[in-house]
Chain A
Amino acid sequence: MPSTRLAVRFLVLSGLAATLAIAQSQRQLRIVSGPIAKAPVSVRNWKNPYEQQPAAIKAGEKLFRQHCAQCHGEDARGMGKAADLRSAPVQNATSGELVWFLRGGNPAKGMPSWSGLPLQRRWQIVTFLKSLPPAVRAQELPVHSEVTAHSSDDAAGSTGDSLLLGAPNRTCGGLVKME
């Protein structure tokens, strides 16, 4: 029956597409988890001096637009090779881990080091990132264990960000993607 064959093809293609999408998301999560997982234990509990301060969020947004939006998009949802900064790996990381990561970046994978920005400016950027609404929750996927093993507890303890387990909502879900 032609209609049966069509239905089978549709199902197979849909399954294949879903598998590829999940695999891609998982791969991005693993890429993201790498640099942040290497953060020294001591940085996880670094206190953000500007945490949730409206002026710092606004200043961080200004810095974000100057330095980050070119790659990550004006809405921080990622663009091209750059990550969705509302995604779980970013939002579940502690502020200390993010400010530490910004200092060194991941030059081998396309994320520049931002050590040239004074620490105060990196804290302002992190304050802005932590104020972003989470990625689309309707498409939540199980997060790779190595991503959340250390970060979700810290996030829950400090900012309550453990709720932000949304999966990346587009192809650039990592902090950086493989080139």
Chain B
Amino acid sequence: MRTGAQEPPYFITYSHHLEEPGNLEIEANSSFATQNPGNNYIAPWVEFEYGVKTWWTSEFYLDSQSTFNDSTAFTGVRFENRFRPLMTEHWINPVLYVEYEDITGADKAMIDVVGADAQSDYAVPNAEAQREKLHEVETKLILSGDPKGWNYSLNYIGEENLAHAPWEFGYALGLSRPLRLAVTPEPCNFCRENFLMGIEMYGGLGTASAFSLSRTSHYLAAIGAWQLPSGATFRVSPGFGLNGNSHTFVLRWSVSYEIEGFGRKLRNLF
């Protein structure tokens, strides 16, 4: 048996639930987005999420994208850490997030939206966008709770390009719930208890010099997840842009697998 994840099904929003210590989750994600002007694209990325401690989770990303009628490109790496400062559970629980990104201007994973990020930023041809190197630090304040079987999560995002530019800000909000709160006694794959549904909303909040909703983009997405007892999880999320600066349609999907006791198994090799 595998350890069942208890994470909510969000793609963009983080909750206060961290990876169980010693477990490694490998996740293959993709985003498809319509692009106007320009060409639609698919941006696949792979995540490796490891529970270092009960209060500390590390994650490593490999990003890529393929733009229709253009090219396919590897667009960089991300390394993030999440820390839980409080060791007790409250109705709302903070988690601190720090990420370093070494990506190019062609990165289209759109794992978060900050500042005045807009659809037009993604219209630049890959050859040109790949020349722009971005070294960024992203921080998040994650606030989350689990009342009555629901999870609600609020993220406040601050991102700084280390080379230039002021801080850019963004937000993500999520709400989710399993379709059934108690589990059935028999093993099953298609029981309602294995399915989670939710919604999330995310967007930019401008920059340190222009903190406003002007020229920002915003999205609303539905999320569905199917958690198999074997440790695999499938997720899908159709999302829609809420204003003219946003992509009209964004479809995300992922498959993940959790390896229980990965750290212990690794240590046993040596």
Interface residues of A (CB under 8 A from B): 55-56, 58-59, 62-63, 65-67, 69-70, 80, 103-108, 110-121, 124
Contact = CB atoms under 8 A, between A and B. Distances in A.
Nearest to B182: A120
Given A70-B260, A107-B54, A111-B54, A121 B87 contact: no
B183 A121 contact: yes
B185 A67 contact: no
Interface in B56-113: 84, 87-89, 93
A121 B89 contact: no
23 contacts: A56-B185, A62-B183, A62-B185, A62-B187, A65-B1, A66-B2, A66-B229, A70-B20, A80-B264, A105-B54, A107-B54, A108-B54, A110-B53, A113-B54, A114-B6, A116-B7, A116-B15, A116-B146, A117-B6, A118-B146, A120-B149, A120-B182, A124-B182
Given A69-B1, A110-B53, A118-B181, 7 more contacts: A66-B4, A67-B6, A105-B89, A108-B54, A114-B6, A116-B17, A118-B148
A143 B118 CA distance: 64
Given A106-B87, A108-B87, A116 B6 contact: yes
A99 to B, nearest CB: 12
Nearest to A35: B88
B184 A107 contact: no
Contacts of A80: 264
B147 to A, nearest CB: 10
B185 A66 contact: no
A27 to B, nearest CB: 20
Given A67-B3, A67-B4, A110-B54, A118 B87 contact: no
A92 to B, nearest CB: 23
A112 B20 CA distance: 7
A59 B229 CA distance: 13
Interface size band for B: 35 or more
Contacts of A112: 18, 20-21, 54
A75 to B, nearest CB: 13
Contacts of B8: 116
Contacts of A66: 1-4, 229
B224 interface: no
Interface in B147-162: 148-149, 151
Contacts of B240: none
Nearest to B188: A62
A113 B144 CA distance: 13
B182 A118 contact: yes
Contacts of B87: 106-108
Contacts of A58: 185-186
A16 to B, nearest CB: 30
Contact of A118 (B89, B145, B178): B178
A66 B2 CA distance: 6
B89 A115 contact: yes
A166 B148 CA distance: 35
Q: Which of A66, A114, A121 has the most CB atoms of chain B within a 10 A radius of its CB?
A: A66
Given A112-B21, A116-B6, A107 B84 contact: yes
Interface string B1-39: 111101110000001011011010000000000000000
Nearest to A63: B183
Nearest to B51: A112
B13 to A, nearest CB: 14
Contacts of A108: 54-55, 87
B238 interface: no
A69 B185 CA distance: 17
B89 A120 contact: no
Nearest to A176: B54
B166 interface: no
B185 A121 contact: no
A104 B148 CA distance: 15
Contacts of A111: 54
